């Protein structure tokens, strides 16, 4: 075992396996996210690349099942790849989101400001636990979600904001 740990080749091989697994799982995460958003070409490309990397990496681990360093690198690569894939998905901001904003006092002001910035906003009066509220609905491109959220928070730091993924079916205004 000491011989295994002191070999540079073992650590270089493990580093390659780890790196390939990170890329493999990051692509897998992105592929699944693209599939759920209907982005078929990206899902296809990610899937093909991911499969080549997976086969090569798994083959490298299976060549020497007694080498626990490679197995550990493979497992660690899975975890890191998941986090990296999520971060890349967030950064790519492909697709659409639906934001729902609930403001007890400043809903009309928020709606007006969002419209000034090019967002289409549907404004609805409602009644919450503590009285009258304004419910704002925005269907937007994901890449604009942060901008919209920051505008809302600037006007009403206590506004309740939720977001969910959206698959457009027909028509609408996407703005900006």
Range 138-167 average pLDDT: 92
| Structural domain contains residue 84 | yes
Please say which residue of 29, 64, 92 terminates a domain.
Answer: 92
Please tell me the predicted confidence (pLDDT) of residue 4. Answer: 56
Of all residues in the chain, the percent with pLDDT exceeding 90 is: 68
Q: Tell whether 6 and 86 lie within a shared domain.
A: yes
Instruction: Tell me the torsion sign for CA atoms 133, 134, 137, 142.
Output: negative
Last residue in a domain, options 38, 60, 92? 92
CB 168 within 8 A of CB 116: no
Interior/surface letters 92-124, b for 16+ CB within 10 angstroms, e for the rest: eeebbbebebbbbebbeebbebbeeeebebebe
- What CA–CA distance (Å, rounded) separates 117 from 158? 21
User: Considering the domain boundaries, does residue 102 fall inside one?
Assistant: yes
| Domain closes at, from 47, 77, 92 | 92
Instruction: Identify which of 31, 170, 159 has the alpha carbon closest to the alpha carbon of residue 100.
Output: 159
Domain boundaries, position 160: 96-166
**CATH number for 118:** 3.30.70.120
Does 174 reside within a domain? Answer: no
Residue 114 has pLDDT above 90, yes or no: yes
> Is 7 a residue whose pLDDT tops 80?
no
Does residue 71 share a domain with residue 145?
no
Instruction: Tell me the pLDDT band of 51, cut-offs 50, 70 and 90.
Output: very high
Q: How many domains is the chain partitioned into structurally?
A: 2
15, part of any domain: yes
Confidence tier at 36 by pLDDT (50, 70, 90):
confident
């Amino acid at each position: 075992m000491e011989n295994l740990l002191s070999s540079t080749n073992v650590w270089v091989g493990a580093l390659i396996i780890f790196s390939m697994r990170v890329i493999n799982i990051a692509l897998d995460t992105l592929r699944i996210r693209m599939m759920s958003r209907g982005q078929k070409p990206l899902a296809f490309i990610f899937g093909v690349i991911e499969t080549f990397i997976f086969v090569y990496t798994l083959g490298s681990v299976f060549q020497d099942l007694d080498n626990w360093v490679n197995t550990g690198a493979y497992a660690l690569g899975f975890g890191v790849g998941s986090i990296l894939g999520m971060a890349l998905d967030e950064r790519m901001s492909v697709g659409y989101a639906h934001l729902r904003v609930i403001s007890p006092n400043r809903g009309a002001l928020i709606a007006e400001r969002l419209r000034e910035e090019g967002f289409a906003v549907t404004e609805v009066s409602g009644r919450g636990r503590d009285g009258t509220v304004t419910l704002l609905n925005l269907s937007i491109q994901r890449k604009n979600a942060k901008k919209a959220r920051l505008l809302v928070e600037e006007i009403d730091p206590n506004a309740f904001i939720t977001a969910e993924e959206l698959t457009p079916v027909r028509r609408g205004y996407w703005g900006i």
